[in-house]
Structure 1
């Protein structure tokens, strides 16, 4: 009798352990295409300003300044570094926002399908 009880306890314990190790009842799938776009927050960046503030690239996405800035001669406006301005960029969906320690804030809008800058200056 004691052997049957031990065997039953062992079987119940083994069943509980196996059930705890089982995978989820429904399969885990990849994110759907309708999932929200990933957000990148506060990534350090060097914004190219040599010909004014017009474009930005983050990873494989090219963005255009919502309001391009220059000094009227194709240079960055006063107070901006040349050829680069250090700062951070936050990307959310199709918008990227550049901020720096000088208080500059520029919003950029994604150019879907773009594979290069519109204009490369020297």
Structure 2
């Protein structure tokens, strides 16, 4: 499959798929509603081991700038194990998490990813 074909498939999957959040080490994800690129949905971001990745629909995204306290936990001011907020799918390749506390994290799709980069206990 060419990279362009892969991007088209990903875009279609995200546009018609379910936006999910709160991914856990066991790979499960809690449904959070349906959203197309440009749309937003309530989202529980898994923060227990820091803010680094998010599963959105069937795609795996990584934080543009991962956040942690240096010991593998979320930074001060973040919920643990999750932070409640909103995920906005800006395009098939970019999503932005925001919340009422003023946090903002940009996520970019990890092409060809099939799971989290690392599992958290």
TM-score by length of 2: 0.68
Determine if the alignment matches structure 1 residue 61 to structure 2 residue 59: yes
Q: CA RMSD in A?
A: 1.7
Q: Which has the higher helix share?
A: 1
Which consecutive residues of structure 2, in runs of 5 or more, have no partner in the other structure? Answer: 1-7, 16-36
1:17-56 paired onto structure 2 within 5 Å: 38=15, 39-56=37-54
Aligned-partner SS, 2:45: strand
TM-score by length of 1: 0.68
Q: CA deviation at 1:50?
A: 0.4
Q: CA deviation at 1:40?
A: 4.8
Cα distance in 2, alignment partners of residues 50 and 40 from structure 1: 28
Q: CA deviation at 1:114?
A: 1.0
Which consecutive residues of structure 1, in runs of 5 or more, have no partner in the other structure? Answer: 1-32
Q: Which consecutive segments of 4 or more residues in structure 1 shift more than 2 A?
A: none
Q: Which has the higher strand share?
A: 2
- Hey, what does 1:11 align to over in structure 2? none
Determine if the alignment matches structure 1 residue 80 to structure 2 residue 58: no
Determine if the alignment matches structure 1 residue 119 to structure 2 residue 118: yes
Structure with greater Cα Rg:
1
- Please list the CA deviations of residues 28-73 of structure 1 after superposition, one character each: whole Å capped at 9, or x if unmatched: xxxxx5xx76405211111000000000011001001000000011
- Hey, what does 2:106 align to over in structure 1? 107
Q: CA deviation at 1:93?
A: 2.4
- Hey, what does 2:20 align to over in structure 1? none
